[in-house]
Amino acid sequence: MNQATPGAVTESAELVLPLLPPRDLATAASACRALRAAAAAVTTRRAADAARGLEPLPIPFHNRVDSKPYAYFLYTPFSLARLSPSASSSGAQPWGGAWARPPVPTWPRPSLDGFTSAVCGCACEAGECGGPRCACADAEADAAGSGPEGGMGSLGECGDGCACGPSCGNRRTQRGVAVRLRVVRHLQKGWGLHAAEALDRGQFVCEYAGEFLTTEEARRRQRIYDELASAVGNVARFINHSCDGGNLHPALVRSSGSLLPRLCFFAGRDIAEGEELTFSYGDARVRPKGLPCFCGSSGCCGVLPSEET
């Protein structure tokens, strides 16, 4: 029987290895020298971009703490009503291939399986979208400042029912992550999201993307899923808690024609390059015996907030 040549093995590996989760990738790497080299290349490319080429800019992992080169999860730039059964069960989403970075799918945004309303969008003239006469604008919106008692802000944007296109200035949260970020490994906190450039107060950072799940479905998945498909989301999953409120301000963004708002994060103040991006998960004082908090803020409560907050 003819044995496969190293070139054939490498060519096949470039097609298969990017589909494998870390555990299976490590198993394949132990088979032979050619697969070990191909697996190492996949790992390097994965560590170079947590977003898998699905955002306008790559978001690299940086780890000087332990041997973990990256965090594995299924990436989605936008929230989904549900993930396809095959993808959610197998975790099959290519990541780390040698092919060129694909174009970013920024427009149109995917539909949430009919979660749309009959509300029509605006018919503003060029440059008027988001202004005081725009039907999509929220006159009391405050994305970057503080809501009531430091709470969540709100923002109105143009949507599917509007006549404007993707270049509209009132769609600033709909073009993906357009600021430079990096995911950094911490000794006690694990992975955290950091600014890789200086950010101005009010600048859009990212939205919190993932699957919309019922409580029952979420609990079911926790019981039966392992590391292959237990996490679906975007880089916002790496944003850690800070007891002092953090430097990010969350806001609910409502787009014309969509029933469901999106949770987006804006710079709550000017943020320096290299600074970790954080926000408050909730009130930790109602959970005195919770998991330990390592936020390091001067007002740290010592424990993380409960899910109920």
CA atoms 43, 48, 51, 53: torsion sign: negative
Contact by Cβ (8 Å): 309, 281: yes
* Tokens representing residue 63 in the block: 């780890």
Whether residue 296 is contained in a domain is answered as: no
* Tens of pLDDT, residues 187-240: 999 999 999 999 999 999 999 998 766 667 666 656 555 444 757 889 999 999
Res 146: pLDDT: 44
CATH number of the domain that 156 lies in? 2.170.270.10
Determine the length of the chain: 309
* Listed residue (224, 249, 304, 234) closest to 79, CA to CA: 234
Distance CA 200, CA 189 (A): 26
* Tens of pLDDT, residues 25-57: 999 999 888 899 999 999 999 999 999 999 999
Q: Which domain holds residue 156?
A: 71-96+131-282
Mean pLDDT of 283-305: 79
The domain total for the chain is: 1
Residue with tokens 């101005």: 200
Whether residue 171 is contained in a domain is answered as: yes
pTM: 0.84
Whether residue 146 is contained in a domain is answered as: yes
Contact by Cβ (8 Å): 40, 34: no
* Tokens representing residue 278 in the block: 């954080």
pLDDT at 177 over 70: yes
* Tens of pLDDT, residues 133-149: 788 876 555 555 544 34
- Please list the alpha-helical segments (H only) found in the chain: 6-16, 22-29, 33-47, 85-90, 215-224
**DSSP string of 173-240?**
TSS---S-EEEEEETTTEEEEEESS-B-TT-EEEE--BB---HHHHHHHHHH--TTTS-EE-GGGGPE
Whether residue 217 is contained in a domain is answered as: yes
Whether residue 162 is contained in a domain is answered as: yes
Whether residue 5 is contained in a domain is answered as: no
* Tokens representing residue 241 in the block: 């808690």
**CA distances for 21 relative to 10, 39, 176, angstroms:** 18, 11, 25
Encode burial over 97-128: b for 16+ CB neighbours within 10 A, e otherwise. Answer: beeeeeebebeebeebeeebeeeebbebeeeb
Whether residue 51 is contained in a domain is answered as: no
Whether residue 61 is contained in a domain is answered as: no
Distance CA 179, CA 197 (A): 7
